[in-house]
Structure 1
Amino acid sequence: MPKSTDYAAKLPDSSGHIAYDAAEDSVWHDLMARQMPSVQQRMASPYLNGLAQLRLPTDRVAQCAEVTEALRATTGWRVEPVPALIVFWRFFALLADRCFPAASFIRRREHFDYIEEPDIFHEIFGHAPLLTDARFAGFSHAIGQAGMRAEKVDYAWLIRLYWFTIEFGLTREKGVLKGLGSGLASSIAELQWATSGQPELRPFDVIDILRTPYRIDILQPVYFVIEDLDDLFAAAQRDLLADVATARALGLHAPKYPPKAV
């Protein structure tokens, strides 16, 4: 997560409605129009099924309140608008409460193709579809519960399991590599890259994931492929803090990316 942002949170009114202007609605429309063909071709069916259930608007920014209404009818989750940047403990606490924190601003035109911090398009278009599925929602809930029990030094280790699955996980359908995670669904460049056969693909393994460093500001050099989604859901039943302790004892893998320029 970036340490600072040029964006300010947009606050909801007493009814939960956030006022977006015409320019912001236009950015949402254009992001949807650009992303949908790639998503329909390259994303996995659990994501696509969830997206269809949400029936997101195409002509304006989706409201957290209306997405919450759709999620409560399926898995009981809700979406809560938050500032662009929140600390790990709050993120885990919200997941443990079956609430997804959504940065409430939408990117400006100059950041249309890439924005380092998550915006409302990433949060709603990327994350909300999988939260309509009780199995994926249960996995996110388990991450939150583990985070609430974790020590601060464990946070960066635990979040890697979320990063390489819910954010950037891959799977296969009828032998075809498909995107699963929200970071893929909301980024046309990342989704095409991840499914191109060029980056390194590793089998899903909790300990391996916990030991794999990442950067948020580049296309990922490594992705994990969840061949059987039941393996992911089973991970929600593991003692994840014991897994973190095992990973810490083994140490991080050498990064597959260059160091970030200062």
Structure 2
Amino acid sequence: MKQIYENYTAEDQKVWGILFDRQFPSLPKAATTEFTKGLKQVNFTNEGIPNFEKTNEILRGLTGWEIYAVPGIVEDGLFFELMANKKFPATTWVRKMSQLDYLEEPDMFHDVFAHIPLLANQAFVDFLQAISQFGHEWIEDEWAIHLLSRIYWYTIEFGLIREDGEVKIYGAGILSSAGETKYSLSDEPNHFEYDVDKILETPYRKDKMQENYFIIESYEQLYKSLPEIKSKIEAKLKQGKEAVV
């Protein structure tokens, strides 16, 4: 499918601007510097919904990635296949004014505003592509996908990073939520150093703010952890099969 830009209504554009203005003031202090840098690189502003074609021209020049328009949440096989080929699936619809504070299914503000700026960072997208390749490889194994989803959840969606001694946000699930942006950096939730073993043992909930967040030291650390992620998930799969036998 394609983004049909002229179909956006005045309300759609207004909602984008409101959501942008809610988040933008907190970004310099709360978000990773790579997110705010990427936000400028892809030219996202409060003045209008991003045009995927224009954004893709920029992204292809930066890291070779692009936005791939989808109608909504896609099944795991297509999700991993797209990202393994440097295509980030993003919906084109925007929440209504009545949904500003709560939304069950991610809309374009989450998919685009919160995810796309970091696609300008090479180490980050190399990590994203690699775990997507793992997912594509393991797509027939439900337990493998469940374990990999924990890695994705606690990094791409709800990850924190330490920069110059301060904890910042890079996870899109946090960056698209004004409430979770403040909460994630408070003393209320648990904060752990990035630990593949602990992440694989930590379930998550989609229906409330997270209880646990994991802090990386750099995007290169994420990328360098790929062999460990693969080997430890494969070890758990082997253990499971041996237990069944």
8 Å Cα contact 1:12/1:19 also seen in 2 = no
With 27-36 and 48-57 compared, the bigger mean Cα shift is at: 48-57
8 Å Cα contact 1:116/1:216 also seen in 2 = no
Q: Which of 79, 103, 110 lines up with 1:115 in the alignment?
A: 103
1:144 and 1:36, CA in 2 relative to 1: closer, same or farther beyond 3 A?
same
Deviation at 1:56, TM superposition (A): 1.1
Please give the secondary structure, in 2, of the residue aligned with 1:79: strand
Please give the secondary structure, in 2, of the residue aligned with 1:58: coil
Q: Which of 184, 200, 203 lines up with 2:193 in the alignment?
A: 203
- The answer as to 2:50 corresponding to 1:36 is no
User: What's the counterpart of residue 132 of structure 2?
Assistant: 144
1:228 and 1:12, CA in 2 relative to 1: closer, same or farther beyond 3 A?
closer
Deviation per residue, 1:111-169 (Å, 9 max, x gap): 10121221111111100011001110101100111011103312121111111111111
TM-score when normalising by structure 2: 0.91
Q: How many angstroms apart in 2 are the aligned matches of 1:110 and 1:207? A: 41
User: What's the counterpart of residue 77 of structure 1?
Assistant: 65
Deviation per residue, 1:200-220 (Å, 9 max, x gap): 011101222122111111100
Q: How many angstroms apart in 1 are the aligned matches of 2:51 and 2:236? A: 39
Q: How many angstroms apart in 2 are the aligned matches of 1:73 and 1:242? A: 33
Residue correspondence of structure 1 range 82-97 to structure 2 within 5 A: 82-97=70-85
Q: Which of 168, 172, 178 lines up with 1:182 in the alignment?
A: 172
The two structures, once aligned, show a CA RMSD in angstroms of 1.8
Q: Unaligned stretches of 5+ in structure 1?
A: 1-10, 252-262
- The answer as to 2:192 corresponding to 1:219 is no
Q: Which of 144, 152, 167 lines up with 1:162 in the alignment?
A: 152
Please give the secondary structure, in 2, of the residue aligned with 1:73: helix
Alignment: residue pair count: 238
8 Å Cα contact 1:211/1:248 also seen in 2 = no
Deviation at 1:30, TM superposition (A): 0.5
Q: How many angstroms apart in 1 are the aligned matches of 2:179 and 2:133? A: 32
Matched residues, percent identical?
36
Please give the secondary structure, in 2, of the residue aligned with 1:23: helix
Q: How many angstroms apart in 2 are the aligned matches of 1:199 and 1:250? A: 32
User: What's the counterpart of residue 51 of structure 1?
Assistant: 39
Q: How many angstroms apart in 2 are the aligned matches of 1:21 and 1:220? A: 34
User: What's the counterpart of residue 55 of structure 2?
Assistant: 67
Q: Which of 246, 254, 259 lines up with 2:235 in the alignment?
A: 246
Please give the secondary structure, in 2, of the residue aligned with 1:65: helix
Q: Unaligned stretches of 5+ in structure 2?
A: 241-245
After the TM superposition, which segments of 4 or more aligned residues of structure 1 sit over 4 Å from their partners?
247-251
Deviation at 1:250, TM superposition (A): 7.9
8 Å Cα contact 1:172/1:225 also seen in 2 = yes
With 147-156 and 71-80 compared, the bigger mean Cα shift is at: 147-156
TM-score when normalising by structure 1: 0.85
Deviation at 1:17, TM superposition (A): 4.0
8 Å Cα contact 1:96/1:144 also seen in 2 = yes
Please give the secondary structure, in 2, of the residue aligned with 1:80: strand
Q: How many angstroms apart in 1 are the aligned matches of 2:115 and 2:239? A: 31
1:248 and 1:210, CA in 2 relative to 1: closer, same or farther beyond 3 A?
farther
